[in-house]
Structure 1
Amino acid sequence: MELDMEEAAVGSPGMEAKTGMAAETAGDSPPNVEKVIKVEKECANGTGSMSGPPSPEQTWRGVPIEDIHRGLPLFQLEHMGAVSPSSLHRVMHKHPIRESIEVPPRPFKGAGKWDSDHVRLPCATESKYPRENADGGTTIGSRWEMIERALLQPIASSEQLQDAILSYNTTYKGKWNFRALHQLLEEELDESETKVFFEDLLPRIIRLALRLPDIVQASLPLLKQHTNSTITLTQQQISCLLANAFLCTYPRRNTLKPKSEYSTFPDINFNRLYQSSGAAVLEKLKCIMHYFRRVCPTERDGSNVPTGCVTFLRRSIEPDQTTIWNEVTKPLGDVPLHVNAAGTIEDQGVGLLQVDFANKYLGGGVLGHGCVQEEIRFVICPELLVSKLFTESLRPTEALMVLGAERYSNYTGYAGTFTWSGNHEDLTPRDSSRRRQTAIVAIDALQFAHARHQYWEDLVERELNKAHSGFMHALSSEPPGVATGNWGCGAFGGDARLKSLLQLMVCATLRRPLAYYTFGNVRLRDELHEMWQLFRSQGTTVRQLWTVLLRFDDSLRTNPSSSSQPAPNPNLYDYIREELKKKTPPSSSGSTPKPNKKLISASNEQSPDLFSSLDDSTCSPSALLLSDDEEANAMMMAASLEATPSVESSLAVAGAGAGAAASVAAAAVTVAVAAAGGGSPPKAAGAKMRQLSLLDMLDSHYDQGQASKRPRPSHSGATGQGPVKSRKENEDDGEATAC
């Protein structure tokens, strides 16, 4: 099976070009990053002008890309200060670095910790596992010794590799079947490439993995929820940690049951990727194997070992400290906007803060079937994968920023057409702390079963606060611009018109230029540019747009047909144009959030391969329950209660098997009606009252630690596919208790 050379644009023939396991891959090197500006100027026929009609060849609108860089050379503006160890910044290498740039920084030596605040490394002395004796009994022994014994045996086939991994994951014998790995090594690659893997690459991966006690010599903290904390690792340390993930050595990370220790963390062992199926899974494996070929030293030569560093910063904002959007008076038209229908964030967003359209569990379905924006970024820049080891799932006002991740692979296609297309030489310069000056921020969007729900005031506020958490900075100098696109759209059901405006509002608030890539959507490019021009001409502020968005939500609630109106989404931009023509001052009645009001954490959904999709044609309350989080369930349940004419019918919904979320939502309706003096509230006012009461009740419910996971409803009658399972229920049952 050969690559389509025209599609891949790679001049390397045969299987060596496909897998990257030969001595050198002849993929095209990217142009110097300075050429990005030149290319975009050429697309604009050299005009670089905001005025006058664009030429047919021009792919962008707004200001030229130079303005997004504030007219400065690329990489002159910093994303983050220099590495400095502190109680909130764990530096895993000796600081300052005294080695030459050709040598990896030496690891920091510290006390190893085996507790719930640190990564449980497989090489720790406390890492134990039951071992079968010859007489049929079992003893508890060192897990690391078992791993070493299994991996140091000759491994000449994918079946032997699977058996070796299962020997220290005995709970999953008969449950794990590495079909994707078998298919890649036995069917996809030719005999010579398979031989290269087992005789050269796999031994290199194993040697690197077993050096874990020497390369990581201090405890690695977990980046937990509600904390602002930072970790800096060397690229060598990251490669060693990922080699262990490749070999599935991490204890207690194979089950994600609700009460398991790591149920709120992403998966890290690669077993689920090996068990997945589909062409994109094989291509992701090729990306990962190519990465290991690039970074794993040979038995006699370590010159290819990367010598840089990568910083992971978790930013957490207290809900009562979030922005009051009704008070932001920054003009939207002051944001330099470059909106482009061509290019990608990672290619054209060099030097900018690049947005990862993340899952709240970092990486989403990268170790499964998923292969969209986040998953692709994680496999072409595999150092991002290590964030899954120590980053707890993101809360509504949290984000993860990564500075220094290197890109190793080129690719073509998207989702089912994704294809690894050769080696990528990352020419991005390093900063004074040896980090590539590539900044990526992971922010997770909400998923909506029905388009109308995303215009709710509190859900719009949640998305604004999430983007604000990701885009904010602590620099005294001007920050770089933001490179983003249709965040949370596509499978998550977001309206790109709305999401583009929300990100524009955040950039206006933080005074950051915005480069927006529409991924081929020419209509959205032109519409967003027209809205920006309208904001400039009208002097529209963030506060004014916020107020118009609330009016749009109210108009949908009072529209008799809107409660059952399916996709496509209503045209928000047409509504905004009409409202701005009226030039009415923003109303503050009933729309100003209280400064101390806590934001409800309507949580993000996993990628489709982690959660079963629901049929949008089923408009029952249970069909709206898409999240593992109780408070998100209740918010979506509230959408179905808006049109409920009486408390009795609401309680009937709760009693129909919708679970704890329905009970909470129904109770909120009772509170709202009681506050109104009994009876059925007016349609629009009652809906708003029910919503606010629900939010207040859920805040109290969560703060008291009473939120519990509800059982997944069965939709077999609606979809014919049996019960819908959550991410955790889809995992194999069981993990050895002695690990």
Structure 2
Amino acid sequence: MSDCEPLGKRAKRPMRDSRCSRTLDDWLLKPVVTQRSSHQHHPEPAGSEQNSRKQECPESTDPFGEESPVTSEKPRRTGSAPVSDAAANTGTRKSTNVFTEAPGKVACRRAAAAAGADGKAFSGDVTGLGVPVSDLRRAPGCSGPLPALKPTDSHTVLIRTDLLQPGEVPEPYPSPDQLQDRWDDTHVKLPCSEHNLFPVDRTTLQSRWDLINKALSVPFSSAHDVKDAILKYNTGQAKGWNFTALHVYCKPIPLLRTQRCRSLTLSQEQVSCLLANAFFCTFPRRNSRRMEFSNYPDINFSRLFEGSSQSKQEKLKTLLWYFRRVTQQRPAGLLTYTRQCLQRLPSWSSSEKQFSKLRISCDGSIEDQGYGMLQVDFANRFVGGGVTGSGLVQEEIRFLINPELIAARLFTEALDDNECLIITGAEQFSRYSGYSDTYRWDGNHDDQTPRDEWKRRCTEIVAIDALHYRNFLEQFHAEHMSRELNKAFCGFVRPGVQTENLSAVATGNWGCGAFGGDTRLKAVLQMMAAAEAERDLMYFTFGDADLLRDVHHIHTLITDAYATVGSVFSLLLQYYECVCKKTTRGKPQETLYCFLSERL
């Protein structure tokens, strides 16, 4: 039988159960009415009143708009598929007819009516499919007990763990009078280091930290005062930096370097100090990509002050609100930044793992409806992307409303193909509306997410970077699909953690949009990576109802056929060989999901 022919019927196998003081304050915005998060009690968005209302899900739905309830469903078998009128009238069912039509193509037509397993038709305004949301595990409910927080060779802890008390600000460790100064290539170069020197003239060097202290100790009455203060200790940047839009570490902080598994735990107060230094552009050797930190993201905020765009102003509003919050009340929690590097990766073609549970919704967002789950950051390999520049899409928005994520840019080297960055405990301080050019700061957010035994918010965010494709067809090449599978798996897997203690993964159209990824391929790849990591999946299509139905249907076909991750990977390879290679330009006549459905 040819590789391009249908595989025929498979033997059914039982499915495995995969479980600043006025100086800064003058610039900050007036307080707004606080919106409290409902995450503390974790209510499910079910109820007769909500279910009685029809939920609209047009193509123009804002991918990051107001929180919308996810439609509650009765538990149903996931193997449901829409059926065309013609097929229903003849008593036959062609599975390829359920998928949305490719632009300008007629190879696959979506059916006029979609039928569920119970024989009832899906309404045109359905907003969620798959298993009930209540079936997906969330933290902290599914989390196992944490070991005692203590420093190790691979985990630096910069607070006194023996003095941790609920509601009290952690004490730094070591104390300020025991400062350990390091000016080398394995630690963050801090502005307060005695080695941080500033040339006064050709023969005289001065402590740059003394200059910083003097420049920032005077009151600010305008944006020009801030600009003048910053340039006093960055004189070499006076002509290059543009400020139009703007009109106490005691132990060395290790760098999270490439190909090294390492964790760093800081207090929220320590992180706020790092971010204040970033705002005032004090970090040395970080103003040029030609320096030793060329493989690290920007950290000083100089590029954020450039230009006069509305989006830059909205970014500043969001960040200044964070500074107002942390200066009015000292934050009392901790955060952990973990660089995870996998040396052993799955053999995808031989994987026997069964696909896990799926819930898919075109309403809601990862940060809201995905509370308690592993939340995916659609990352740049330089984490944070353009957050300190002009970028304003999924990753940058998340770094703005959870500003403690930005601190990772100080010490996280660019990610390799087998690496990810996991941030646990980041707090959300702001609400927002819009996306990209329409992004607007929308006031205070009171994060009520519970804390774990280490005093971290039970919010786990993983940064995984997708490949950038200029040609649509190249993403179907075996090498590229394997790379994306490995990257997603690296982000999802937690070696040594029991399956029952793993929350579901909250994700969406990772690597699509500007990166050129195909939404339907990326959905399948993420389902495969989640299955291999033994985690369930909560998928957000950000308003795309067609994608919702297509992904749900292909998942149903896969699970009904008891297809393994390995068998689906083989079908993906066949699609490249039999369809993509024969397509000379543009997109293939036969879509991926039509090809898969004929062979499952």
Scaled to the shorter chain, the TM-score interval is 0.7 to 0.9
Structure-2 residue corresponding to 1:104? 170
Q: Deviations over 1:447-475 (max 9, x none)?
A: 00111110110111000000111001031
In the alignment, the residues of structure 2 paired with residue 349 and residue 33 of structure 1 have an alpha-carbon distance, to the nearest angstrom, of: 13
Q: Deviations over 1:623-669 (max 9, x none)?
A: xxxxxxxxxxxxxxxxxxxxxxxxxxxxxxxxxxxxxxxxxxxxxxx
Structure-2 residue corresponding to 1:418? 439
C-alpha spacing 1:158/1:138, structure 2 compared with 1 (3 Å): farther
| Superposition deviation, residue 173 in structure 1 | 1.1
Asked if 1:252 is matched to 2:285, the reply is yes
In the alignment, the residues of structure 1 paired with residue 37 and residue 324 of structure 2 have an alpha-carbon distance, to the nearest angstrom, of: 19
Amino acid of the structure 2 residue aligned with 1:454:
Q
| Superposition deviation, residue 96 in structure 1 | 2.7
Amino acid of the structure 2 residue aligned with 1:281:
K
TM-score by length of 2: 0.81
In the alignment, the residues of structure 2 paired with residue 83 and residue 454 of structure 1 have an alpha-carbon distance, to the nearest angstrom, of: 42
Structure-2 residue corresponding to 1:30? 37
C-alpha spacing 1:170/1:350, structure 2 compared with 1 (3 Å): same
In the alignment, the residues of structure 2 paired with residue 169 and residue 438 of structure 1 have an alpha-carbon distance, to the nearest angstrom, of: 37
CA RMSD, Structure 1 to Structure 2 (Å)? 2.0
Asked if the contact 1:104–1:305 (Cα under 8 Å) also holds between the matched residues in 2, the reply is no
| Superposition deviation, residue 154 in structure 1 | 3.3
Q: Deviations over 1:235-263 (max 9, x none)?
A: 00000010000000000000012xx2000
Asked if 1:317 is matched to 2:350, the reply is no
In the alignment, the residues of structure 2 paired with residue 517 and residue 469 of structure 1 have an alpha-carbon distance, to the nearest angstrom, of: 20
Amino acid of the structure 2 residue aligned with 1:101:
G
Asked if 1:47 is matched to 2:74, the reply is yes
Amino acid of the structure 2 residue aligned with 1:44:
T
Alignment of 1:185-224 (within 5 A): 212=248, 216-224=249-257
| Superposition deviation, residue 79 in structure 1 | 9.9
C-alpha spacing 1:175/1:44, structure 2 compared with 1 (3 Å): closer
Q: Deviations over 1:24-74 (max 9, x none)?
A: 3214323345455234984435534444344555411000111112xx786
Amino acid of the structure 2 residue aligned with 1:75:
G
| Superposition deviation, residue 366 in structure 1 | 0.5
SS of structure 2 residue aligned to 1:424: strand
More helix by share: 1
| Superposition deviation, residue 93 in structure 1 | 0.5
Q: Deviations over 1:337-375 (max 9, x none)?
A: 000000000000011000000000010000111000000
Structure-1 residue corresponding to 2:595? 575
Asked if 1:287 is matched to 2:318, the reply is yes
In the alignment, the residues of structure 1 paired with residue 386 and residue 517 of structure 2 have an alpha-carbon distance, to the nearest angstrom, of: 19
In the alignment, the residues of structure 2 paired with residue 238 and residue 73 of structure 1 have an alpha-carbon distance, to the nearest angstrom, of: 24
In the alignment, the residues of structure 2 paired with residue 82 and residue 535 of structure 1 have an alpha-carbon distance, to the nearest angstrom, of: 42
Amino acid of the structure 2 residue aligned with 1:306:
P
SS of structure 2 residue aligned to 1:242: helix
| Superposition deviation, residue 568 in structure 1 | 8.3
C-alpha spacing 1:378/1:28, structure 2 compared with 1 (3 Å): same
Structure-1 residue corresponding to 2:182? 113
Amino acid of the structure 1 residue aligned with 2:210:
E
Structure-1 residue corresponding to 2:150? 84
SS of structure 2 residue aligned to 1:470: helix
Structure-2 residue corresponding to 1:680? none
Asked if 1:226 is matched to 2:251, the reply is no
In the alignment, the residues of structure 2 paired with residue 548 and residue 79 of structure 1 have an alpha-carbon distance, to the nearest angstrom, of: 40
In the alignment, the residues of structure 2 paired with residue 467 and residue 126 of structure 1 have an alpha-carbon distance, to the nearest angstrom, of: 41
Asked if 1:164 is matched to 2:235, the reply is no
Asked if the contact 2:146–2:453 (Cα under 8 Å) also holds between the matched residues in 1, the reply is no
Structure-2 residue corresponding to 1:637? none
Asked if the contact 2:242–2:307 (Cα under 8 Å) also holds between the matched residues in 1, the reply is no
Identify unmatched segments of 5+ residues in structure 1: 1-18, 183-211, 298-303, 581-739
Structure-1 residue corresponding to 2:393? 372
Structure-2 residue corresponding to 1:385? 406
The structure whose RCO (Cα within 8 Å, separation 6+) is larger is 2
Alignment of 1:330-369 (within 5 A): 330-332=353-355, 335-369=356-390
In the alignment, the residues of structure 1 paired with residue 255 and residue 33 of structure 2 have an alpha-carbon distance, to the nearest angstrom, of: 39
Asked if the contact 2:139–2:373 (Cα under 8 Å) also holds between the matched residues in 1, the reply is no
Instruction: Report which stretch shifted further, 442-451 or 469-478.
Output: 469-478
In the alignment, the residues of structure 1 paired with residue 589 and residue 221 of structure 2 have an alpha-carbon distance, to the nearest angstrom, of: 54
In the alignment, the residues of structure 2 paired with residue 64 and residue 550 of structure 1 have an alpha-carbon distance, to the nearest angstrom, of: 32
SS of structure 1 residue aligned to 2:340: strand
| Superposition deviation, residue 541 in structure 1 | 0.8
Alignment of 1:47-86 (within 5 A): 47-50=74-77, 51-52=117-118, 53-56=121-124, 58-69=126-137, 75-78=141-144, 83-86=149-152
In the alignment, the residues of structure 1 paired with residue 279 and residue 588 of structure 2 have an alpha-carbon distance, to the nearest angstrom, of: 42
Asked if 1:123 is matched to 2:171, the reply is no
Asked if 1:142 is matched to 2:207, the reply is yes
Asked if the contact 1:79–1:480 (Cα under 8 Å) also holds between the matched residues in 2, the reply is no
| Superposition deviation, residue 103 in structure 1 | 2.8
C-alpha spacing 1:356/1:558, structure 2 compared with 1 (3 Å): closer
| Superposition deviation, residue 567 in structure 1 | 5.4
Alignment of 1:218-617 (within 5 A): 218-257=251-290, 260-297=291-328, 304-318=329-343, 321-332=344-355, 335-474=356-495, 475-476=497-498, 478=500, 479-559=502-582, 562-563=583-584, 565-566=585-586, 571-580=591-600
SS of structure 2 residue aligned to 1:251: coil
Asked if 1:21 is matched to 2:29, the reply is yes
In the alignment, the residues of structure 2 paired with residue 266 and residue 36 of structure 1 have an alpha-carbon distance, to the nearest angstrom, of: 38
Amino acid of the structure 1 residue aligned with 2:256:
L
In the alignment, the residues of structure 2 paired with residue 79 and residue 385 of structure 1 have an alpha-carbon distance, to the nearest angstrom, of: 28
SS of structure 2 residue aligned to 1:422: strand
SS of structure 2 residue aligned to 1:314: strand
Asked if the contact 2:166–2:455 (Cα under 8 Å) also holds between the matched residues in 1, the reply is no
Amino acid of the structure 1 residue aligned with 2:182:
K
Amino acid of the structure 1 residue aligned with 2:197:
K
In the alignment, the residues of structure 2 paired with residue 232 and residue 549 of structure 1 have an alpha-carbon distance, to the nearest angstrom, of: 41
Alignment of 1:655-666 (within 5 A): none
| Superposition deviation, residue 104 in structure 1 | 3.1
In the alignment, the residues of structure 2 paired with residue 399 and residue 550 of structure 1 have an alpha-carbon distance, to the nearest angstrom, of: 26
TM-score by length of 1: 0.66
C-alpha spacing 1:39/1:138, structure 2 compared with 1 (3 Å): farther
Q: Deviations over 1:490-524 (max 9, x none)?
A: 00000010111011001111210100000001101
SS of structure 1 residue aligned to 2:156: strand
Identify unmatched segments of 5+ residues in structure 2: 1-26, 52-69, 78-116
In the alignment, the residues of structure 2 paired with residue 441 and residue 325 of structure 1 have an alpha-carbon distance, to the nearest angstrom, of: 22
Asked if the contact 1:105–1:307 (Cα under 8 Å) also holds between the matched residues in 2, the reply is no
| Matched length | 508
| Superposition deviation, residue 484 in structure 1 | 0.3
C-alpha spacing 1:350/1:218, structure 2 compared with 1 (3 Å): same
C-alpha spacing 1:73/1:239, structure 2 compared with 1 (3 Å): closer
| Superposition deviation, residue 218 in structure 1 | 0.3
Asked if the contact 1:103–1:307 (Cα under 8 Å) also holds between the matched residues in 2, the reply is yes
C-alpha spacing 1:279/1:470, structure 2 compared with 1 (3 Å): same
Percent of matched pairs sharing the same residue? 40
In the alignment, the residues of structure 1 paired with residue 416 and residue 590 of structure 2 have an alpha-carbon distance, to the nearest angstrom, of: 29
Asked if the contact 2:392–2:439 (Cα under 8 Å) also holds between the matched residues in 1, the reply is yes
C-alpha spacing 1:44/1:178, structure 2 compared with 1 (3 Å): same
Asked if the contact 1:99–1:105 (Cα under 8 Å) also holds between the matched residues in 2, the reply is no
Amino acid of the structure 2 residue aligned with 1:241:
L
Instruction: Report which stretch shifted further, 123-132 or 75-84.
Output: 75-84
In the alignment, the residues of structure 2 paired with residue 80 and residue 384 of structure 1 have an alpha-carbon distance, to the nearest angstrom, of: 22
